[in-house]
Structure 1
């Protein structure tokens, strides 16, 4: 009896010992890696609290006061912090922010094997849960960068036609009275229609359910990402079921887009060629052609489903940023009515010479300056060029950012830097057009140009590929507003306060703008 008891105790002891060894084998390396990572992060100065518990207080403050915190870090980095880098606590991680030309250029030139744009986007947008598993795809970037941009001159008339039609439907103002318009919600409908006239054409671009689908998918994805970042990985699939509607949205999109895609694939078979008669020159065509090229003449079996998803993803990117940018511009126009006449004079003279064309948009340098200046002061985020560090990355000044950290640039600080902008807090609508009048400066200060002091579109190889389409679309929208309407705020209010959610910026969501049809229109 005692022998069996001793044997049993031995086995229990051996099992416990084995468990301890296995646990130690698993935990000790993780603890060592965590300590090494934290030692590298601790070497980077913190704006706010850096303690285990106190950092959550600073993370909560960053949610509502990100611009002030980014600006504080940017100024301290240039004055006190060696290396010009700092970090801020977020609820789920540390975010390292770099400034100064040297460090920003290091990040622009860094290899995708060291720092990843895609992985940073996946983390911040929680793409697997908010945008679906096809969010990472090989087709959309080359299509937007090449096919979409090349098609803009030849199809600009269609874009302008839809702008006129959508404004007539959504803002039917009269000459005799002012019409009050809830701006952001209306702008999203305008942008969805005009963008999709280019993406999928008539009549789908005007279909109310299709417009609603694209708008709500955009809103749902951003709201879902914000919430999902607060949950651990094992809970996210469950949380997704209650917070996002990706499957439902894709089903709706399938209903609208699949028959169009299937019809085009059928015509390819009928004619035995990709270049069949009267083939539309739109996003669906470009995506199908790109899939054919990348597949060496053979598309995936689920090409219809994938193409549907890709069209919705391009809409997601286009509607969000363009709506924010256009809404901000209208707010500044309504708050500064004195700039309307100089802009109208430029627009009218250019249109008399070139008509409603992409070339005309390029010659409207005052309009370009007005748009660029509003985005300098607002933008879509306080940070830019976010990258996920895949392996410890050492900047040229010796600053080390450990693997698993998201690093970005201080966009808000850059755009409010006195070293780059005279009186940076003041709105000067023709700040950039005045500079472009000097010899050799005409192209350098365009909104879409590569400019180290203007980071709205990011930088390096991942600079926004859709910026040419977006800027031309917004110029055409603003030009139409200026020639067709008078706009103002009721009681001559200034620009309404924006909404900040961490570094993410949104124009005031409830502000209304007064529109009145101009007699000259």
Structure 2
């Protein structure tokens, strides 16, 4: 018979061995990092106390050129920055050799958030195939929801300027836009779902930031007890509860096996696409709830940061506002698109594609205010010898110098020679219509779009690992900016004359090699007078 004392003794022994294993694992990790540094004898730039890793990346690029170098920042391990000449070769290796998912799981603490953890092919297939095939209808749904969301979140007064937290408002709006597509009406507008989507996104990102504040030696002992970790568990349970009746409805209506029928369902097409691609044995509320939260994080986190940065750039460089408004109204007139009874217009997909200045402004904002100074981080899972003779040892964390590429006149599409037919300034100047000017050159009409990836434009990655959801994300940002430009005025706080200026703009936040628009950036907003 098991006594209380024996159970307590068993638990204590399990805890001891678990603690011992954790200590050994951490120790081996540090030994591995030491061995990596001795095997890869490259210059090191930056330090854990460096408040601005951007300078370390730029210094390393300037001094090392086409040679690798290490960047150290925050509490993270040293990251090996490889030259862009190796980008295609490195990223051609399979996941089991050069892993993207492993780095995501580690940096996003996937053990607690599930980000980068379990493979979810139904999500990728639904994004790459179903979402892309139905993007035209989805764009119209997104624009319709944008109008409702902005009207709910922003002031209705045309007489008085109101201060508002730009990121907080955009987060609310993007949560609603994503929900309209992912879970459909009416759930997308229910406060509980909006709050759950945002809290999961904020907590998932928060776990990473909070954990990295601790020294790596004690981090494994601290992370399980972070408040954000406990909150994530609660949110995952609640998401499963909310998905259960939707899953039952889909299965009962046979929507999972009839995508064409479900495409117009008010419950949200994406749910039916995911369920249709699930093997029968995993068609559960638990799986669907977890899928939805992961999808929500991927959509809301990056899209909100991108949209907020673009809005801040509009207020900082307000000379772009009127030309953008004129382009929007011109396309409306030429396409014959009319407002409905509430003054709302919906751009069909082909009409939205004609907004070249808007597309360019978003792309320039991404270039100027990236979410990271490096891109395409990977973990080396087994020794890899490259064509240059460089051997990347197992356990090495590698990346590429995105920010240096996006700000260098040596980058082909930013070079003086390539830009000679246009009035574009050098890459050290924000020029919202830079890429629209490049597209005005004969033969380049379809190039340089915000969703176009290349070795010169790495915001969404490039090659086989390019972000599959970028078309949807860009559609959301465009819908938000169109409605904002048509119906609202914005300015930096205290900018009575509307002159903008970088000196008035709130600073951005930085964490390791990541950069994010200031979470506390405040703007002044008012409704535009009708007509």
TM-score by length of 1: 0.84
Per-residue deviation, 1:273: 5.3
Structure-2 residue corresponding to 1:59: 48
Q: Which moved more, 1:114-123 or 1:417-426?
A: 417-426
Structure-1 residue corresponding to 2:247: 261
CA contact (8 A) 1:77 1:84 kept: yes
1:377 to 360, 368, 381: 368
CA distance in 2, matches of 1:461, 1:245: 34
Residue 178 and residue 365 in structure 1: after superposition, are their counterparts in 2 closer, same or farther (change >3 A)?
same
Secondary structure of 1:387's partner?
strand
Structure-2 residue corresponding to 1:47: 45
Secondary structure of 1:445's partner?
coil
Unaligned runs of 5+ in 2: 1-24, 338-346, 415-424
The superposition leaves residues 188-229 of structure 1 with CA deviations (integer Å, 9 ceiling, x where unpaired) of 000000111111111111111111111111111111123335
Any residues of structure 2 matched to 1:286-325 within 5 Å, and which?
286-291=273-278, 295=279, 299-301=280-282, 303-325=284-306
* Aligned CA-pair RMSD: 2.5
CA distance in 2, matches of 1:347, 1:267: 41
The superposition leaves residues 337-393 of structure 1 with CA deviations (integer Å, 9 ceiling, x where unpaired) of 221111111111212334411222211111111111111011211111011101122
1:515 equivalent to 2:525? Answer: yes
Structure-1 residue corresponding to 2:417: none
Q: Which moved more, 1:489-498 or 1:214-223?
A: 489-498
CA distance in 1, matches of 2:98, 2:402: 18
Structure-1 residue corresponding to 2:514: 504
Structure-2 residue corresponding to 1:4: none
Structure-2 residue corresponding to 1:247: 233
The superposition leaves residues 131-151 of structure 1 with CA deviations (integer Å, 9 ceiling, x where unpaired) of 368653222122112211222
Secondary structure of 2:164's partner?
strand
CA contact (8 A) 2:172 2:198 kept: yes
Per-residue deviation, 1:155: 3.0
Per-residue deviation, 1:163: 0.4
Any residues of structure 2 matched to 1:403-418 within 5 Å, and which?
403-418=394-409
Residue 434 and residue 32 in structure 1: after superposition, are their counterparts in 2 closer, same or farther (change >3 A)?
closer
Residue 163 and residue 133 in structure 1: after superposition, are their counterparts in 2 closer, same or farther (change >3 A)?
closer
Any residues of structure 2 matched to 1:438-449 within 5 Å, and which?
438-449=441-452
1:352 equivalent to 2:333? Answer: yes
Per-residue deviation, 1:440: 1.5
Any residues of structure 2 matched to 1:176-325 within 5 Å, and which?
176-228=159-211, 230=216, 235=221, 238-239=224-225, 243-268=229-254, 274=258, 280=265, 282-291=269-278, 295=279, 299-301=280-282, 303-325=284-306
Per-residue deviation, 1:110: 2.6
CA contact (8 A) 2:167 2:304 kept: yes
CA distance in 2, matches of 1:267, 1:33: 54
Per-residue deviation, 1:30: 10
Per-residue deviation, 1:153: 0.1
Structure-2 residue corresponding to 1:475: 478
Corresponding pairs, count: 469
CA contact (8 A) 1:182 1:511 kept: yes
CA distance in 2, matches of 1:132, 1:321: 14
Unaligned runs of 5+ in 1: 1-25, 49-57
Secondary structure of 1:491's partner?
coil
Secondary structure of 1:453's partner?
coil
CA contact (8 A) 2:241 2:285 kept: no
Q: Which moved more, 1:375-384 or 1:393-402?
A: 393-402
1:106 equivalent to 2:89? Answer: yes
Per-residue deviation, 1:67: 0.9
CA contact (8 A) 1:486 1:517 kept: yes
The superposition leaves residues 395-426 of structure 1 with CA deviations (integer Å, 9 ceiling, x where unpaired) of 32222221111111111111111212352221
Structure-2 residue corresponding to 1:20: none
CA distance in 2, matches of 1:276, 1:262: 19
Residue 35 and residue 411 in structure 1: after superposition, are their counterparts in 2 closer, same or farther (change >3 A)?
closer
CA distance in 1, matches of 2:312, 2:92: 36
1:68 equivalent to 2:55? Answer: yes
Higher Cα Rg, which structure: 1
Per-residue deviation, 1:33: 7.3
1:452 to 450, 455, 461: 455
Structure-2 residue corresponding to 1:430: 433
Q: Which moved more, 1:307-316 or 1:273-282?
A: 273-282
1:327 equivalent to 2:318? Answer: no
